[in-house]
């Protein structure tokens, strides 16, 4: 471990994968700021996630990548020279690739923290030894381990500090007005997509859940989806009897955060917006598959296992699809289970 008396001035955190991964990395920046007063922090992100981090009180600079990593050695060298000019004392490569590890090495950043279990781990001089794919603890805690390696102290409680501008709040509020809610009426968001990150709850189950929320509990529903999920959301809407409202396509991540923050409940598969809901403190229900790398002990809503529904089957190393004796095991999660959990979250007594 690095000497905790080390006087850091600038620290770079690299997390260039997906939305949920970035959200679960934000507490790392807060830990660094809390431990080393006066330091400057930077976060390297892909362009599409940077919007959500904009304005974060513990992120002083955002460095953008169009892809997950540089595409060639020339791009790697160019990025390394850019970083070298910024005089970082340390870099934490949270989700590593060879080119990202090489970038920190070529930039001659003095302290380079990353996993010790890759063929290129020699490029790091501070190593953390854990196999994330085994899912032995939560992804957020794995991320914090890299900050601990350089002497950071973890603040309590864990906070995400996502900043939502007034313009985004106004956009969300205008949409909520269109729901025509009666006084005190509650409403829920259903987000059926996951970007292929895990096995999903069947779409027809989501449709049944939507109809029962509306007909039995008088809960209005909103379907949300990313720019690439319009067809998915429309297919789900077409399956329903009681039509939901739709929030898809054009709006950005800040507007989505504002909308989720106002909802009474957020329901989804294992996906980035689920972690966004946790970050803005909206109650959640998450459907999770039993594949070991996807288990909720790593990817579930942070410290909210009572918000998780899983099929009643043993965990498996990988999905065998049609060869599995359970077929699509996610279909074994009943709509009634989801309704009961929704009632608990919304504090509704079914008459």
Q: What is the pLDDT of residue 34?
A: 95
Contact 11, 88 (CB under 8 A): yes
Of 216 and 325, the one with more pLDDT: 216
The span from the CA of 229 to the CA of 89, in Å, is 41
Q: Tokens 């989720």 appear where? A: 260
Q: Is the pLDDT of residue 335 over 90?
A: yes
Q: What is the pLDDT of residue 224?
A: 96
Q: Is the pLDDT of residue 323 over 70?
A: no
Contact 232, 202 (CB under 8 A): no
Listed by start position, the domains of the chain span: 10-149, 167-346
The span from the CA of 302 to the CA of 281, in Å, is 11
- Read off the tokens for 280: 């803005």
**HEC profile of 64-80:** EECCCCCCCHHHHHHHH
Contact 266, 282 (CB under 8 A): yes
Q: Is the pLDDT of residue 2 over 70?
A: no
Q: What mean pLDDT comes out for the span 143-152?
A: 96
Q: What mean pLDDT comes out for the span 253-275?
A: 97
- Read off the tokens for 302: 């942070």
Q: Which neighbouring-strand residues pair with 271?
A: none
Query: Sorting pLDDT into bands at 50, 70 and 90, what band is 195?
Result: confident
Q: Is the pLDDT of residue 1 over 60?
A: no
Query: Sorting pLDDT into bands at 50, 70 and 90, what band is 66?
Result: confident
5-45 pLDDT per residue, tens: 568 999 999 999 999 999 999 999 999 999 999 999 999 99
225-263 pLDDT per residue, tens: 988 899 999 999 999 999 999 998 767 999 999 999 999
- The mean of the pLDDT values for the chain is 93
207-216 pLDDT per residue, tens: 999 999 999 9
Q: Tokens 């010790």 appear where? A: 116
- CA nearest to 35, candidates 6, 57, 63, 1: 6
Q: What is the pLDDT of residue 108?
A: 97
Contact 10, 89 (CB under 8 A): yes
Contact 16, 44 (CB under 8 A): yes
Contacts of 59 (CB under 8 A, 6+ apart): 26, 29, 41, 42, 43, 53
Q: What is the pLDDT of residue 275?
A: 98
* CATH C-level class of 167-346: alpha beta
Q: What is the pLDDT of residue 320?
A: 63
Note whether 10-149 and 167-346 share their fold: yes
Count the residues in the chain: 351
Q: What is the pLDDT of residue 250?
A: 64
* CATH C-level class of 10-149: alpha beta
Q: Is the pLDDT of residue 325 over 80?
A: no
The span from the CA of 146 to the CA of 346, in Å, is 37
* Torsion sign (Cα): 316, 318, 321, 322: negative
Q: Respond yes or no on whether the N-terminal peptide bond of residue 258 is cis (omega within 30° of 0).
A: no
Q: Which neighbouring-strand residues pair with 307?
A: none
């Amino acid at each position: 471990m690095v000497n905790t008396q080390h006087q850091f001035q600038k620290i770079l955190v690299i997390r260039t994968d997906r939305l949920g991964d970035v959200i679960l990395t934000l507490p790392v920046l807060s830990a660094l700021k809390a431990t080393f007063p006066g330091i400057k922090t930077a976060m390297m992100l892909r362009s599409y996630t940077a919007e959500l981090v904009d304005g974060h009180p513990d992120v002083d600079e955002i460095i953008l990548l169009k892809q997950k990593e540089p595409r060639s050695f020339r791009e790697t060298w160019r990025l390394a020279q850019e970083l070298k000019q910024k005089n970082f004392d340390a870099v934490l490569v949270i989700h590593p690739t060879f080119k990202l590890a090489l970038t920190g090495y070529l930039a001659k950043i003095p302290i380079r923290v990353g996993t010790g279990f890759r063929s290129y781990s020699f490029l790091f001089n501070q190593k953390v030894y854990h196999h994330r794919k085994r899912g032995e603890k939560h992804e957020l805690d794995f991320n914090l381990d890299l900050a601990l390696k350089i002497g950071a102290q973890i603040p309590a409680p864990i906070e995400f500090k996502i900043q939502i501008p007034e313009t985004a709040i106004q956009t969300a509020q205008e949409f909520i007005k269109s729901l025509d809610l009666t006084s005190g009426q509650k409403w829920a968001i259903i987000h059926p997509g996951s970007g292929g990150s895990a096995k999903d709850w069947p779409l027809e189950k989501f449709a049944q859940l939507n109809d029962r929320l509306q007909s039995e509990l008088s809960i209005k529903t909103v379907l949300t989806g990313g720019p690439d999920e319009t067809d998915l959301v429309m297919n789900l809407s077409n399956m329903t009897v009681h039509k939901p409202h739709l929030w898809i396509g054009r709006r950005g991540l800040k507007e989505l955060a504002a909308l989720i923050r106002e909802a009474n409940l957020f329901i989804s598969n294992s996906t980035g917006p689920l972690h966004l809901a946790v970050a803005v403190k909206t109650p959640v229900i998450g459907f999770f598959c039993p594949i070991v790398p996807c288990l909720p002990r790593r990817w579930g809503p942070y410290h909210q296992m009572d918000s998780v529904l899983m099929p009643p089957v043993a965990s498996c190393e990988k999905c065998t699809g049609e060869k599995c004796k359970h077929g699509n095991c996610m279909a074994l999660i009943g709509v009634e289970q989801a309704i009961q959990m929704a009632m608990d979250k919304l504090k509704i007594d079914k008459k």
